Structure 1
Amino acid sequence: MADHAILAGKRVLLVIAGGIAAYKSLELIRRLRERGVTVRAVLTEAGARFVTPLSVQALTEDTVYRDLWSLTDESEMGHIRLSREADLLVVAPATANLLARMAGGMADDLAATVLLATDKPVLVAPAMNVRMWQHAATQANMALLESRGVLRVGPNDGVMACNEYGPGRMAEPMEIVDAIAGFFAAESHRPLAGRRAIVTSGPTHEPIDPVRYIANRSSGKQGHAIAAALATLGAEVTLVSGPTRLPDPAGCKVVHIETAREMLAACETALPADIAVCAAAVADWRVDGASDRKLKKDGGGPPALALTENPDILATLSRPGEHRPALVVGFAAETGDVLTYATAKRARKGCDWIVANDVSPGTGTFGGSDNTVHLIRADGVESWPTMPKDAVATRLAEAVAGYFEGK
């Protein structure tokens, strides 16, 4: 349950949209006020059809903001100021319509304008009919918002007001309070604040000609998750990403590249940094003298491709010097004798840590959601159980934070 100490003195701007779940927003206000939270409310026109402005005002003990065009409100509390004076914006209920307008960057009423103008974090509690929640448009809108850093609690499974059953019920008030407390608890745990990190992720594409390239099966899921986890702990993260199908993680500066040489250049530009995590699956070789025209079949057999070595990004970043990061972490994707090869790689490259995993066919590591890794350091090996890649990222980020503790 929510810790009163975490919430005391916090400021929440609550956006109440139009849905039957709006009645729960009154209980949410009451529970937040009990814990010392200052609550200011924006009530949409549709929201006011379910709860009255007088009820919201009585519980918040503050003005209820409703009209973008109210000259009195705009002179005393402009929407820009309103959007930025809170520590957190909470949308409960978050209807399908409001989520769509948020995703599209609409500013057609006070609620949408405040949400577009804010520079503060946003937590949404979706509430709608099960079919509306499951619709591809809503799912795409929610995925887009989450990729931008919008947080979500719920929806829960249950009986709808329309008597249908399934996901779509707004989370209960205390679940939302706990989610708010969890956000503030995470915000206070930022041990990497002030540290700069470089993370590489995904494959590289090395051109053969303008339409063909050498690549590998890396999805970038692990590297992107690590970048997000380091940012969550307060690090200023530059993610250098090869071609993937993943959205850019929130809170990171992302540099998109294609080739190994471009990745190295982007990493060197991002220096100096305290941390470098080389999670990308960089192609070891490229075609020496790639054709600037599409190679054609001419009946004489396939062309002979002369390969040359790509730059070694991990070894370059690990090289002693003024701009060497204090902690350099490499990855070793192996298909056999994982610990033997990875331990030798750590010594050969000169990095501090190696995260080793087995990418043999059948493990599902490449492109999958889970990973089984071994963290190899100078003082020994930690073998972690199989877990989702997000969990691996969180555990690695915490280990990085532990490395810098007291330094």
Structure 2
Amino acid sequence: MLEQHDPLFRPVTLGSLQLPNRIVMPPMTRSRASQPGDVPNALMAEYYAQRASAGLIVSEGTWISPLGKGYAWTPGIHTQAQIDGWRLVTDAVHAAGGTIFAQLWHVGRLSHASLLGGQAPVSSSAIQAEGVNVFVAEADGKPGFVQASMPRALSVAEIRAVVDDYRQAAGNAVAAGFDGVELHAANGYLVNQFIDSHANDRDDDYGGSLENRLRFLGEVTRALVEGVGGDAKRVGVRLAPLTTLNGCVDADPETTYLAAARLLGEIGVGYIHIAEADWDDAPHMPLDFKERLRAAFPGILIYAGKYDGARARAALEAGWADMIAFGRPFVANPDLPARLRQGAPLAAHDRDTLFGGGAHGLTDYPSLQAA
């Protein structure tokens, strides 16, 4: 396919950014931050720079405060050392011609007291994520999985403090050289715990009605806009309307997430990043729902979820998607855009090296030319 006719390689405008293609590297936890301190490092900088030919990179989930952490060896953006570490990453990506947003993350109840200095995780409500495991560092340096701890409900004053933490994290991301930020409001994490009705049993301004359950999403998103300097196009939001991942279930997800999309459109964010369920027996996202999301939100819509080149091109041509994120394919194919352009075969990743470890399984996958 000639590049000028290939929808994956048509440039796209995201606010003041001109992106060369419509291929997104989405956030993927890799758990390689330096210890102690969960600090981004030169190895991570090499990893992201290798993948800078993506139109947009979104960093792995990056916790905004000590109580926002949920998994071992994941990076934060809370301390000066972490900000300096992320500057290594952004400088490397920019030197390679790439664009990178920081995904800002508060896991809420999806954590364990051992990761939080003995404190209980926090959430919208004191409802445990039954059967949901998080990984902690074992003595042998490998991840061990444990049931997420019972959370406590945030007070209204604490909610306001968390909103402030998000605002500060966005400012920290700018200081670290990121081109923008993405709010992780999907996959059962803290913002999702306010949105979905079965995870939120509050009876105050943050629970009950749909308007109240979306209040935290709106407040956090506006705080991020302030944190990046007032440019709403430098903010994206990740949503997972139908996934029911990590125990978050909504009684009427299509109504809820169409309302969320309209709210984010009113705020003026640059994009919504839709995480479709990607496991074998996952719920299907109907085409008419995607078309209604398109009508509800005027910005860029990114979709992620087991897309290959053919499905991605069809989605872009249909118009309900503006960009497509390829998660696992980027793990073993650092030059994924070149492979998609040429229709070349994709390398398979090694599952045993996804979380934790060193360069093996992170930066040692060869490019197509090298292979």
Same fold (TM > 0.5): no
Q: Which has the higher contact order (CA 8 A, sep 6+)?
A: 2
Question: Structure 1 length as normaliser, TM-score?
Answer: 0.29
Select the structure of larger CA radius of gyration.
1
Which one has the bigger strand percentage? 1
